[in-house]
Amino acid sequence: MNTLPETHRRPLFPRGPSLGLRTLLLAGLSLALIFNDSRSDALQPVRSTLSFLLAPLVWAAALPHHLAAAAENLDSREALERENRALKEKQLLLEVRLQRMAALEAENRRIRELLASAARIDDQVLIAEIIAVSQDPYRNQITLNKGARDGVYRGQALVDAHGVLGQIVEVGPRQSKALLITDPDHGIPVEVNRTGMQTIAIGSGDERGLRLPFLASNADIKVGDLLVSSALGGRFPAGYPVGTVYEVKHVAGEHFMEAYASPAARLNQGRQALLVWSEHFHRSDEHDDALQAPAATTDPAP
Amino acid sequence: MTPTRTLVLGFVASLLLALLLQLIRLPELLAAARPLWVPLILAYWALREPRISTLFPAFVTGLLLDVLFGTPLGQHSLGLVLLVYLVERMRSIFILFPLWQATLALIPAWVLFSFLMFWIDGATQHRADAWLRWLPVLSTTLFWPLLFSVMETLRQPDDDE
């Protein structure tokens, strides 16, 4: 079969610059954009405007998934009853735990007051819905349905019911993009819960989860250690679980060892995430950074 | 004037559809092998429709892809512009080929695009070492005959003008 259309004809006198010249111009422009965008934030407004315009497309692409989820909701009566029973049991369990939690919190407050410390145990939070997951398999990003209007700011920490999810990297008026802790571009200061050792967990970008490079070869860390977020760097609120160490690798003849941890948060499951206003970041922010919207200081609805 | 207008409308609609296909959520295993829908559709138009200039739309679509994927602005547009240039340059050779030969002859174009994405990711310090990156080249090659036939069937009524 011949791919030449019958109507094919090359214009005899093509107008405007030639194909090669136009390609050269556009390629040069692209290169300039890449250079600029990877080194500064100057193009951030362009990006937010475009992503606002593209929101319907993102929504449409997520539609099949949402429909499938909706179809799943049409459960049988029996399944619903079973689920109801399980939930009731779980609620009872949680209520018992909550009672203890209230007592502990009160005790904690009293002890903290004794120490004259200002740290609070209940951070201010806001629930956001995950509306899209990055479809580039080499970037772990999610899009949330809360933006600058809800007081979301760049660098804000994101957690779910099990641990730290990531942080906000891009804020639009009504939605924002977050980088997950497993993205190779992401690093988070962590503390080994058992020993208090501070280190940094870097995303590995694949199924290995988190990587803790450059540990001293005699560092006290072993499989099963819980990593919690550390307030060093002032970006993440302290004390949220980040991951559990599952492998410690000594390399013979190397000065450092490496550990791997699986993230505590359910990264690719669930539809909701919690935005946390980190007290540290918030305070220092008011002085030197205008990224923060005033709405962040008011208490949002839970 | 109407045929040109339907042509442009079809062009824009197919581009939007390609963007949508690029975004739809797939299971993790399939996602790595997702065909390069946008390059596919742009290559089709560059090859088949000399009446439409594909170069500038390729640039704009690239920017949209960059925003959607959170890559540095310009990464996908550079790849798409060079891809379209290559295909348009080769048009006079391509139109002599039967479909299966064209399918094979387009492989270097997909490799070029994948390599550019891989290279810019590396240059902007986004770690990129997975062999799975070359999987889309295979799936794109497999999808080319399908896309070509479907588009030809869809466009058949228009070509009578």
- Note whether residue A165 is domain-resident: no
Q: Cβ-count burial of A69 within 10 angstroms (0-12 exposed, 13-18 middle, 19+ buried)?
A: exposed
Cβ-Cβ contacts under 8 Å, A184 against chain B:
126-127
**For residue A207, is it within any domain?**
yes
Cβ neighbours of A46 in B, within 8 Å? 73
Q: Least CA distance to A3: which residue of chain B?
A: B95
Please indicate, yes or no, if residue A221 is contained in any of the structural domains: yes
Note whether residue A132 is domain-resident: no
On whether any CB of chain B is under 8 Å from the CB of A7, the answer is yes
Number of domains in chain A: 1
Mean predicted confidence (pLDDT) in A151-156: 89
Task: Tell me if A202 is assigned to some domain.
Answer: yes
**CB contact, 8 Å: A184 with chain B?**
yes
Q: A134 and B98: CB-CB below 8 Å?
A: no
Residue range A219-248, pLDDT digits in tens: 889 999 999 988 888 888 888 889 999 999
Helix B135-155 and helix B107-123, axial crossing angle in degrees, nearest 10: 130
- Sign for the pseudo-dihedral over CA of A237, A238, A244, A248: positive
- Span A164-210, pLDDT tens digits: 899 999 898 888 999 999 998 899 999 998 888 999 999 988 778 89
Task: Tell me the whole-structure pTM to 2 decimals.
Answer: 0.61
Cβ contact A165:A181 at 8 Å: yes
In chain B the domains, ranked by start, together with CATH numbers, are 2-160 (1.10.1760)
Which residues constitute the domain of residue A250?
187-263
CB contact (8 A) between residue A138 and residue B89? no
On the CB side of B69, how many CA atoms lie within 13 Å of its CA?
25
Residue A192, domain member (yes or no): yes
Residue A234 falls within a domain, yes or no?
yes
Residue A209, domain CATH: 2.40.10.350
Collect all residues with Cβ–Cβ distance below 8 Å to A2 and sequence separation of at least 6. B95, B96, B98
Q: What is the ipTM of this complex?
A: 0.82
Q: Closest-CA residue in chain A for B118?
A: A138
A245-263 pLDDT, tens per residue?
999 988 777 888 999 999 9
**Residue for token pair 């090659």:** B141
A57 is a domain residue? no
Query: pLDDT below 70 — which residues of chain B?
Result: 1-3, 126-130, 157-161
Q: How many residues in total does chain B contain?
A: 161
Mutate to test the interface with A, among B56, B73, B78, B96 (most CBs of A within 10 A): B73
